[in-house]
Chains A and B, each alone.
Chain A
Amino acid sequence: MTYLTNAAAPRAHSYLIEARDAHKSFGQTPALAGATLTVSGGEIMAIMGPSGSGKSTLLHCMAGIFPPDAGEIWFRGRRLDALDDAERTELRRTAFGFVFQFGQLVPELTVADNIALPLLLSKAGRKAAYAAANDWLPRLGIGGLGRRRTGELSGGQAQRVALARALVGRPEIVFADEPTGSLDTLAGEMVMDLLVGIAREEGATVILVTHDSRVAAYADRQVLVRDGRVTDLAEVTARATP
């Protein structure tokens, strides 16, 4: 795979993806100030924190949407942050799936079109792309909606389409940024049930950003981002034991 051909030497590692001492600023505003996070393969990880804490920036750096100003991002033992734009784009297309708060579906296209889109962009055959898309519809409880335009869907239905689009390429990691943020309680629970259930079935890793503790409780592990740094709540508990 082309995205793994950067010159950095592989290191021994036991994590699927890691941020090591990542720093990132937007103008004069620091967003990450030494964030370190390790995520194992198959793990479901929730990144929590107040607004402006840097949690979404950390997710974007780990997903290769933009590189950190300093520090390193490692994926499968290789420096993701050292890749050029084209290599990062290729990596995001082949190894990662994305779910955002507002779905970001194309409203003029049908449900099946939206789900097939990542495969079509990866130059998969049209027939295979639509076959894969249609396979995902019943798994997400939207079996009868393939020909509907996504602009006609409810918020919960649209977010299930967004999940299918994230999963259709069978990514190693699904990055989800406030995936239930625009949904009511029951619709949000259905999305989280599906995301966690399918990720476990597929062996996919999920890195989830949320400010909602009920959503974070679906994850195996929770960390807190504060002032651009990461606190692992499991380590806090271990240290506090008298």
Chain B
Amino acid sequence: MVLVVTVPLTLLGLLEREPSHGYELKRAYDSYFGRDKPLPFGQVYATLARLARDGKVTEGEAEPGAGPDRKRYAITELGAREFDSWLATPIEPEPRLQSLLFAKVVLALMLGRPAETYLDTQRAAHLRRMRELTEIKRNGSLVDALLADHGLFHLDADIRWIDVTAARLRTLAEMVRTT
């Protein structure tokens, strides 16, 4: 599975868990969200620098020790608000969203947030879009119906994934908290 997640928000989520060094963030990111495409160190530090410039994280003083960067980063109030808002807002329903949904679920479980509620919110957003497509299908031409069907089958696949993930939340939560 190729994951396409939003790196800045994911790093904010990992920092919401605890202040971390850049290499710790990279390790956590790669183990959950970058299995097929690890995050380059350069992108980690560039992203953290932009987040610091925008007031969403703070950079600690460089700590003594080996390694290229011993700064510890912490999330600010502004960063936490932005992360919370992203987590709670359903993603625009469109095909192939699993990677973003996956990132939200894992981060919610890491932080003890209501992952089931986020899944329900996403399910509701998907069903709202599916109702619109169903109306188009019922009242439109054959071409409209075929195009609507394409969207409906993909959104249905997302909902099946949401159902299965909801059924496995307890097990996933245990795994996320112990790794």
Interface residues of A (CB under 8 A from B): 50, 193, 196-197, 212-214, 216-220, 222, 224, 231, 233-234, 236-237, 239-242
Cross-chain contact A237 with B124 (CB below 8 angstroms): yes
Cross-chain contact B89 with A242 (CB below 8 angstroms): yes
Cross-chain contact B85 with A213 (CB below 8 angstroms): no
Binds A, one of B11-19, B21-29, B37-45, B126-134: B126-134
Distance of A234 from chain B, by nearest CB (Å)? 7
Cross-chain contact B152 with A240 (CB below 8 angstroms): no
Q: How far does the alpha carbon of A76 sit from the alpha carbon of B102 in the complex, in Å?
A: 44
Measured between beta carbons, the chain A residues less than 8 angstroms from B152 are: 214, 217
Measured between beta carbons, the chain B residues less than 8 angstroms from A197 are: 138
Chain A residue with the shortest CB-CB distance to B160: A213
Among B118, B120, B159, chain A packs the most CB atoms within 10 A around the CB of B120
Give 1 or 0 for each of B80-113: 1 = CB within 8 Å of chain A CB. 0000110011100000000000000000000000
8 sampled A-B residue pairs with Cβ under 8 A: A196-B138, A213-B155, A213-B156, A213-B159, A217-B133, A217-B152, A233-B123, A240-B117
Chain A residue with the shortest CB-CB distance to B131: A217
Q: Is the interface of B mostly helix, strand, loop or mixed?
A: helix
Measured between beta carbons, the chain B residues less than 8 angstroms from A239 are: 117
| Interface residues on chain B, number (Cβ under 8 Å) | 28
Distance of B170 from chain A, by nearest CB (Å)? 12
Chain A residue with the shortest CB-CB distance to B152: A214
Cross-chain contact B134 with A218 (CB below 8 angstroms): yes
Distance of A220 from chain B, by nearest CB (Å)? 8
Contacting residue for A236 out of B85, B124, B153, CB 8 A: B124
Q: How far does the alpha carbon of A235 sit from the alpha carbon of B90 in the complex, in Å?
A: 14
Q: How far does the alpha carbon of A231 sit from the alpha carbon of B163 in the complex, in Å?
A: 14
Cross-chain contact B117 with A236 (CB below 8 angstroms): yes
Distance of A26 from chain B, by nearest CB (Å)? 22
Chain A residue with the shortest CB-CB distance to B132: A217
Q: How far does the alpha carbon of A236 sit from the alpha carbon of B121 in the complex, in Å?
A: 6
Task: Known pairs A213-B155, A236-B121, A241-B88; list 7 more (Cβ under 8 Å).
Answer: A217-B134, A217-B152, A218-B134, A222-B124, A224-B120, A237-B90, A240-B88
Distance of B2 from chain A, by nearest CB (Å)? 25
Cross-chain contact A213 with B167 (CB below 8 angstroms): no
Cross-chain contact A240 with B156 (CB below 8 angstroms): no
Cross-chain contact B127 with A50 (CB below 8 angstroms): no
Distance of B84 from chain A, by nearest CB (Å)? 7
Cross-chain contact B84 with A242 (CB below 8 angstroms): yes
Give 1 or 0 for each of B148-175: 1 = CB within 8 Å of chain A CB. 0000110110011001000100000000
Q: A50-B163, A214-B130, A242-B89 are in contact. Are A231 and B120 (CB under 8 A)?
A: yes
Cross-chain contact A233 with B133 (CB below 8 angstroms): no
Cross-chain contact A242 with B134 (CB below 8 angstroms): no
Q: How far does the alpha carbon of A18 sit from the alpha carbon of B83 in the complex, in Å?
A: 39
Distance of A241 from chain B, by nearest CB (Å)? 8
Cross-chain contact B124 with A213 (CB below 8 angstroms): no
Distance of B22 from chain A, by nearest CB (Å)? 29
| B125: Cβ under 8 A from any A Cβ | yes
Chain B residue with the shortest CB-CB distance to A216: B127
Cross-chain contact B127 with A222 (CB below 8 angstroms): yes
Cross-chain contact B167 with A240 (CB below 8 angstroms): no
Cross-chain contact A50 with B167 (CB below 8 angstroms): yes
Chain B residue with the shortest CB-CB distance to A211: B163
Distance of B107 from chain A, by nearest CB (Å)? 16
Contacting residue for A242 out of B85, B120, B153, B156, CB 8 A: B85
